[in-house]
Chains A and B, each alone.
Chain A
């Protein structure tokens, strides 16, 4: 059955209205999450990588050694490198205390702060990503809920384009009529923001749809990457009882860099048991791939690189898994793309509000305040404003 524009208009409302408050919440939290690192930089001096003397970045082992000096007995878990203006995070465990994260200045190797709890960045990611709903091993109702918002996003995009006749006019002749009354202005704002946000809706909707697929894959136990085989038991030394020394981080990094010269290390995970590898991952020469796309697994006893991952060797599913985050978060171009994602995130949040207000005025406005009989004659309807 062919849908006329009135039906398309109804579908546009049906998609968004039942969940409009949740959708709006997800949009707002996502918008804040995009700049959560920068908000932390603004509000927490210890998170800033100040470099008044213009020093070059220190090698990662120097940052790890700084943490080991400041926190005797610390067992390093991971290292995460962020933008040049942010500290490097070094996660560690220590006897009798919960896991902690040290903020280390990457230029001076100074440990500026130690965090023992949930960070604002982690909190915003969890609030936006799964609404803090608990995880049941591999699935969360909240993750499904948020990922399902991609259907709302893409549905609103498609139906919006259909009901907004000749929407491309919004690019050449944007229409905004503040003097024509609230309802007209809301409609103008909604359509204008929608037309200019088409690309953003598509990017966020498509990547969100991938997260929905990913949720199903996780839930069903389907692996995008096969777990690497652990180090063979016979490769572990046998001693008289004293713990042997595994290779140091500097050697593991060197081996990873020789195997992947194009990789800029952004993430290091230390072996969680004696048959596990050093995981050394980073970004490379293609900004569309995330900071885990180039990865080397280094044997902590032999120093050999037992496995590598690169974008060139990825299948379609693995490729999507590794390009979704930079596109969804807007991180692929650094601060500038983050700023653009933030602005359009605000627009998207505003669209959910204006859409609801338009619906409310259409539904209840006429009951509360009958419109003058000739009101329509005073204000010409906008393109595609009516079904």
Chain B
């Protein structure tokens, strides 16, 4: 075993360096030609139209003691200014109150994003919920079915 390592290590060392130095070129190409999962259906939340898109096809990831999945939300032009607060969560029900810190929809311009609290194993009753409040306090809630892990 050690003898094999001794004979192979010099060559492996060469390839290790070569791989690490070729990798940035590959990753640069990948970053300049990004691919995103397909957008979910556009829905209207009161006067607002919104289209969610997951950042990737992977499952949720652990973050600060919970599981979250990143989504972007494209709102209609000039709509974001008319929103007081918006929250996204995934589960059987939408959030009940708007004073939390999780799932806040944030960003600049029409393309917003959120780190959405997301079940690690979505069940049939779970949905992606978007809760939008206008400046006059009116609430709008939207839901999208979640893709099942086997989908």
Contacts and interface: CB of A to CB of B under 8 A. Distances in A.
B82 A243 contact: yes
Interface stretch (B121-129, B132-140, B143-151): B132-140
A274 B85 contact: yes
B114 to A, nearest CB: 10
A17 B64 contact: no
B58 to A, nearest CB: 9
A134 B86 CA distance: 29
B136 A240 contact: yes
B68 to A, nearest CB: 9
Contacts of A230: 101, 104
B20 A96 contact: no
B64 A242 contact: no
A241 B135 contact: yes
A177 interface: no
Q: What interface size band does chain A fall in?
A: 35 or more
Contacts of A5: none
Nearest to B76: A95
Interface in B1-28: 13, 16-18, 20-21, 23-24, 27-28
B17 A21 contact: yes
A275 B100 CA distance: 10
Interface string A74-94: 011100000000000000111
Nearest to A242: B135
Interface string B55-86: 00000011111000010000001100111111
A294 B56 CA distance: 36
Contacts of B104: 230, 273, 275
Interface string A132-148: 11101110001001000
Interface of A is mostly: loop
Given A137-B63, A240-B136, A241-B136, A131 B24 contact: yes
Q: Which of B13, B21, B63, B84 has the most CB of A within 10 A?
A: B84
A133 B137 CA distance: 44
B33 to A, nearest CB: 13
B96 interface: no
Contacts of B83: 274
Given A22-B21, A221-B63, A275-B104, A239 B136 contact: yes
A239 B61 CA distance: 38
A17 B84 contact: no
Interface in A288-342: none
Contacts of A366: none
Contacts of B101: 227, 229-230
Contacts of B108: 75-77, 92-93, 99, 270, 272
Contacts, number: 107
Q: Which of B23, B63, B70 has the most CB of A within 10 A?
A: B23
Nearest to B135: A239
B39 interface: no
Interface in B96-110: 98-99, 101, 104-110
Contacts of A232: 99
B85 A22 contact: no
Nearest to A238: B137
A18 B27 contact: no
B31 interface: yes
Contacts of A41: none
A343 interface: no
Interface string A44-81: 00000000000000000000000000000001110000
B29 to A, nearest CB: 10
Given A131-B20, A240-B135, 16 more contacts: A19-B17, A21-B18, A75-B109, A76-B108, A92-B108, A95-B110, A96-B77, A131-B23, A131-B24, A131-B27, A132-B28, A132-B31, A138-B63, A240-B136, A243-B135, A272-B108
- Ranked nearest first, the 8 interchain pairs of A and B with the lowest CB-CB distance are A93-B109, A21-B17, A272-B106, A93-B108, A273-B106, A132-B27, A132-B24, A241-B136
Interface of B: 13, 16-18, 20-21, 23-24, 27-28, 30-31, 61-65, 70, 77-78, 81-86, 98-99, 101, 104-111, 134-137
14 contacts: A19-B16, A20-B17, A77-B108, A93-B108, A95-B110, A99-B109, A131-B27, A137-B70, A232-B99, A240-B135, A240-B136, A241-B134, A270-B108, A273-B107
